[in-house]
Structure 1
Amino acid sequence: MRKIDWRADLNQLADELPKLHKNLFFNQEADQFYSRIRNLKNRVDYMNIYTIVMEIAKIVAAIGDAHTAVALPRHSRLPFECYWFQEGIYITLTTPEFEDLLFHKVVNVDGNPIEDVIKRLSKIVSHENQSFLKSQIPDHLICADMLFGLNISNKIENVRITIEDQYHEQWDVILPIIKYDEWKPDALYDRATAYEELPLYRKNKGNYFWSEFEREKKLLYINYNKCKDMPTLMVRDFSNQLINDIKSNADIQRLVIDLRNNGGGNSELFKDFMKWLSTFDRLNRRDKLFVIVGRDTFSSALLNTYYLKMNTHAFFLGEPTGGMPNHYGEVKYLSLSSSGLYIRYSTKYYALDDDKTLPSFIPDVEFPVKFKDYIQNIDPCLAWIIEED
């Protein structure tokens, strides 16, 4: 196995990233960046590869630009998925072998209280606000490579977690580590209720965008999960179909655009529909047009959010966005020559709001994501819209 020259990679990072990034030192002094790199160069001989990667991730995350980050390698993981609700981090999906873990709160990882685990993971997550951190922590929590590299777990073969049930009873479970490619969605055990009972925002997860007309409620729901064409359907064609449906169906009295799970892509793809919507008086009203945003609304999805804010009379609800209104973006990649580690970096600055200190786009009405709603298949955002009729 070829030995990685980490010092050469760190020298490359110090030399090239400040030249490539639009404005690398907008949030920290240059001396801090170079000092962290020098410090790590002095310690790499005494570290394993997992720890070195985590230390590089800390250096890049400290820049304070959510679009500038290490593309962290992910080889091994825990056999579950989780989500950070208002009540804590809960397991939302697992395999039949660990059915008893489903819908329990994670309170400890290998002897570390979950609060300490979050604090350590936060240091490797490039973020500009708490919303994006809440979005990213669950995916990092299940990555065994990261847990080992941050010394949260002391083994790469298995991890001991402590879970808590609804009666606050706690117990430990030792979980084996699996490869990411062994985590097959069609083999998962999901004890959620029948698919038809799921709230709309949790349906059709394999589709980047889709819509459904609720005839009795006279409401057209548009789920826009990714600013990207699907292999079988382009956003342009989807948009044209929406326009035709809305124009030809007078029963559509309210329109909901759900961006809460949209992490970005190409912001221009949905622009034609939004531009048309801004001219369509029947629905372009504060009591007719609703936009749902959340912690995963980021990058191009945030640009779409602001387009709707500036050009329509939409009413916004949900969580504060993971994307910061005034932010760096338009990502390119730097490959470190020896390790092959990729670093994302920003090449453009977006100024979307006059308030340059605003950490998130704040909706008109906020709805925190609660575990009790999740377990009962309730979407408080859509419920509020329907009740407001």
Structure 2
Amino acid sequence: MMACVLVSAPVAANSRADVMTNNAFINAPSDAFPKDAKSYWQQRQQAVQYARQEQWQLALPLLETVTKTYRDDGDTWFLLGHGYMLDKQYEKAIPALERAIALGTIISGVPSTSSPANDMMVKIARCYSALGESQAALQWLERALAYRWDDRKSLLTSKHFTALATNTQFKAIAGAALADNLSRDQQWLKDLDFLVAEIERLHVNAFHHISQQAFTAKVQQIAEAIPDLSDQQIVFQFMSLLGSLGNGHNFIVPTHSLKGAFTQLPVQFYRFNDGYFIVSASAKYRHLVGQKVLRIGNTPIAQVVDKVAMVNARDNEMQQLWLAPFYLSLPQVLQGVGVTTETEKTALTVSDSQGATTHVTLTAESFNFTGFPKLPKLEEQHNPLYLSQQHQPYWLKISPEQNLAYVQFNRVGQKKSESLAAFSKRISRIANERQVQNLVLDLRHNSGGNGSIIPPLTRALLHFAQEREQNKLFVIVGRNTFSAAHLLLADLNRLSDAIIVGEPSGSRPNHLGESGWFKLPYSGVWGLISSQFHQASKAEDHRIWIAPHVPVTLSSKQYFNAHDPAMAAIHGIIGTYKHAQ
């Protein structure tokens, strides 16, 4: 078996995020270049195409040829190593992946894999594990953690590391080294230690919003209070600790845990420009839909919103408009910020459209977290386009009378029936065939997903915007235009003359993002940590959001009456252009 070779000196687990996983000064360029550049390019293109089609038996011979012909392309080494690993040629996969780490790669579009260096380190560990070299596998896993690999919770259930499942060091790496005979309080203290260690390991520039001294003092206060707190109250304290760091990708999911799971009120709140309203409710409370929320307990709603901000780590205050309604629905948060004293029942004061007030008491229920809430469809109205197909990741409608294509992009993910790349090609084809002059991209419901799949859509939209002078690209944005969707918005804002309509966006162009997953070993509480810096604009871009060129807000009356003021504004602008021609 081959020896374990590390590509550069190890780093501490709490190293800064800008430490590179390779060394540019020890890898000199090769003097060997292809004799026939055209033939090399054709082979490379074909190999990449086969890899993206998962035809590895066809891809591997070509990849072997191109990496021998030219040794300085990290993309081809990555594909070769990944292909060897899938083909169970583990001894060949390891040096190929090491070479890819040494050179670096950003290739994307290959199904079921990703190319960050720390992911490649886990692949190397997987190869060593398959070869029965446990110590080398553990060493590479440790190295991946040191370079901020963010999915350690998946290791225990991974079939690729079954042989290591009982290894003590492996359990520690996976965050599941549980000591015996610990008291309840000791277990929570261990979870607190783990959370702090993961923040230090994963978080980019963790102490830009709160000083490290203040953070450490807060940790100590929580530790001292644990004996006097219930499990749910401890989880709330953990939420406030993570919230103190700022950044919208810091979040604890307060359900699905072994201990301290939260409950939720059976209503959904939303903040319109005229206040907070109930927009959805369980069958028992459906009569409350459309009611304006005046108070929770004895506290005016505006004050409650200010109080829950302490657990809402965010990129800007648009995210407070988006997510504060979610936290208002969690009784344990309301209790934690001092608005209520109990969690089983919560009192609300609401008013109807005539101003008549009612006092109601809601009983909390267990819930499953399936993502952050979106403005729901109307139940008794014909829904406008933006509410009609939220469950679809993306869809398209042509309006011939307006010479308009409406594209709603609700989630950065793939549909089984049509990939985002195929959908992007369909947009271009239809826009060209029908000579579409106005294209609306609606990002109001899109809070992100897998950003690596976005480039085909970005190219299609930029091509439309630049193809004909009369073409107009409109982008509708709002408070929960966030994460990967915000990266798309930033690109369109930077590279085109897209007309942005709606509210300010839910993030900054340059922001701390990504999602480093963690799961606390004893309680099973899980969540996210902001693990990467995204510079989607120039370095001097300090905007706190991307502001609309056409500011449009939404009132409760417009929503409940199925009106869309953003599309109304766009139709008005299109009409102006028509008259000017």
Q: Structures share a fold, TM > 0.5? A: yes
Please say if residues 263 and 330 of structure 2, whose CA atoms lie closer than 8 Å, have aligned partners that are also in contact: yes
Please say if residues 285 and 313 of structure 1, whose CA atoms lie closer than 8 Å, have aligned partners that are also in contact: no
Please say if residues 427 and 460 of structure 2, whose CA atoms lie closer than 8 Å, have aligned partners that are also in contact: no
Whether 1:79 and 2:266 are equivalent positions in the alignment is yes
Alignment partner of 1:19 out of 184, 198, 201: 201
Whether 1:171 and 2:358 are equivalent positions in the alignment is yes
SS at match of 1:268: helix
SS at match of 1:43: helix
User: 2:184 aligns to what?
Assistant: 3
Shift of 1:231: 3.3
Q: Distance between the aligned counterparts of 2:465 and 2:209, measured in 1?
A: 43
CA RMSD, Structure 1 to Structure 2 (Å): 2.4
Please say if residues 465 and 471 of structure 2, whose CA atoms lie closer than 8 Å, have aligned partners that are also in contact: no
**Unaligned stretches of 5+ residues in structure 1:** 184-188
User: 1:89 aligns to what?
Assistant: 276
User: 1:268 aligns to what?
Assistant: 452
User: 2:493 aligns to what?
Assistant: 309
Shift of 1:326: 1.6
SS at match of 2:311: coil
User: 1:104 aligns to what?
Assistant: 291
Q: Distance between the aligned counterparts of 1:338 and 1:216, measured in 2?
A: 60
Whether 1:368 and 2:535 are equivalent positions in the alignment is no
CA 1:91 to 1:280, structure 2 compared with 1: closer, same or farther past 3 Å? closer
SS at match of 1:211: strand
Alignment partner of 1:127 out of 292, 307, 314: 314
SS at match of 1:77: coil
SS at match of 1:140: helix
Q: Distance between the aligned counterparts of 1:339 and 1:97, measured in 2?
A: 32
CA 1:305 to 1:285, structure 2 compared with 1: closer, same or farther past 3 Å? farther
User: 1:68 aligns to what?
Assistant: 250
Q: Distance between the aligned counterparts of 1:44 and 1:87, measured in 2?
A: 40
Q: Distance between the aligned counterparts of 1:338 and 1:96, measured in 2?
A: 36
Alignment partner of 2:430 out of 245, 248, 254: 245
Shift of 1:22: 2.2
Q: Distance between the aligned counterparts of 1:159 and 1:281, measured in 2?
A: 51
Question: Counterparts in 2 of 1:218-297, with a 5 A limit?
Answer: 218-250=403-435, 252-280=436-464, 288-297=472-481
Please say if residues 286 and 314 of structure 1, whose CA atoms lie closer than 8 Å, have aligned partners that are also in contact: no
Question: What is the percentage of aligned positions where both structures have the same residue?
Answer: 25
User: 2:394 aligns to what?
Assistant: 209
CA 1:356 to 1:163, structure 2 compared with 1: closer, same or farther past 3 Å? same
**Unaligned stretches of 5+ residues in structure 2:** 1-181, 256-260, 371-375, 576-581
- Alpha-carbon displacement from aligned partner over 1:309-352 (angstroms, at most 9, x marks no partner): 12222111111111122211121112222222224112221123
SS at match of 1:278: helix
Q: Distance between the aligned counterparts of 1:2 and 1:290, measured in 2?
A: 58
Q: Distance between the aligned counterparts of 1:356 and 1:45, measured in 2?
A: 46
Report the structure, 1 or 2, having the larger helix content. Answer: 2
Please say which of residues 40-49 and 1-10 is displaced more in the overlay: 1-10
- Alpha-carbon displacement from aligned partner over 1:217-267 (angstroms, at most 9, x marks no partner): 2111000011111233321221122222112112x2210001111000122
Shift of 1:356: 4.6
User: 1:46 aligns to what?
Assistant: 228
Q: Distance between the aligned counterparts of 1:286 and 1:128, measured in 2?
A: 36
Please say which of residues 288-297 and 150-159 is displaced more in the overlay: 150-159
Q: Distance between the aligned counterparts of 1:377 and 1:113, measured in 2?
A: 28
Q: Distance between the aligned counterparts of 1:199 and 1:140, measured in 2?
A: 27
User: 1:152 aligns to what?
Assistant: 339
Please say if residues 148 and 155 of structure 1, whose CA atoms lie closer than 8 Å, have aligned partners that are also in contact: yes
User: 1:321 aligns to what?
Assistant: 505
User: 2:349 aligns to what?
Assistant: 162
User: 1:186 aligns to what?
Assistant: none
Please say which of residues 81-90 and 280-289 is displaced more in the overlay: 280-289
- Alpha-carbon displacement from aligned partner over 1:271-318 (angstroms, at most 9, x marks no partner): 213213323467665861101111010011110001111222211111
- Alpha-carbon displacement from aligned partner over 1:114-173 (angstroms, at most 9, x marks no partner): 122112211111112110111001122222333344443333322111101223221201
Shift of 1:113: 1.6
CA 1:61 to 1:291, structure 2 compared with 1: closer, same or farther past 3 Å? same
For 1:386, give the aligned amino acid: H
For 1:169, give the aligned amino acid: A
Please say if residues 50 and 148 of structure 1, whose CA atoms lie closer than 8 Å, have aligned partners that are also in contact: no
CA 1:105 to 1:384, structure 2 compared with 1: closer, same or farther past 3 Å? same
Q: Distance between the aligned counterparts of 2:518 and 2:546, measured in 1?
A: 29
For 1:3, give the aligned amino acid: R
SS at match of 2:191: helix
For 1:57, give the aligned amino acid: M
Whether 1:348 and 2:535 are equivalent positions in the alignment is no
Structure with the bigger RCO (C-alpha within 8 Å, sep 6+) is 1
TM-score using structure 2 length: 0.62
For 1:167, give the aligned amino acid: Q
Q: Distance between the aligned counterparts of 1:64 and 1:177, measured in 2?
A: 28
For 1:86, give the aligned amino acid: N
Q: Distance between the aligned counterparts of 1:65 and 1:346, measured in 2?
A: 7
Please say if residues 297 and 339 of structure 2, whose CA atoms lie closer than 8 Å, have aligned partners that are also in contact: yes
User: 1:35 aligns to what?
Assistant: 217
Q: Distance between the aligned counterparts of 1:309 and 1:334, measured in 2?
A: 33
User: 2:59 aligns to what?
Assistant: none
SS at match of 2:418: coil
CA 1:47 to 1:75, structure 2 compared with 1: closer, same or farther past 3 Å? closer
Whether 1:380 and 2:565 are equivalent positions in the alignment is yes
Q: Distance between the aligned counterparts of 2:249 and 2:238, measured in 1?
A: 16
CA 1:231 to 1:139, structure 2 compared with 1: closer, same or farther past 3 Å? farther
For 2:487, give the aligned amino acid: L
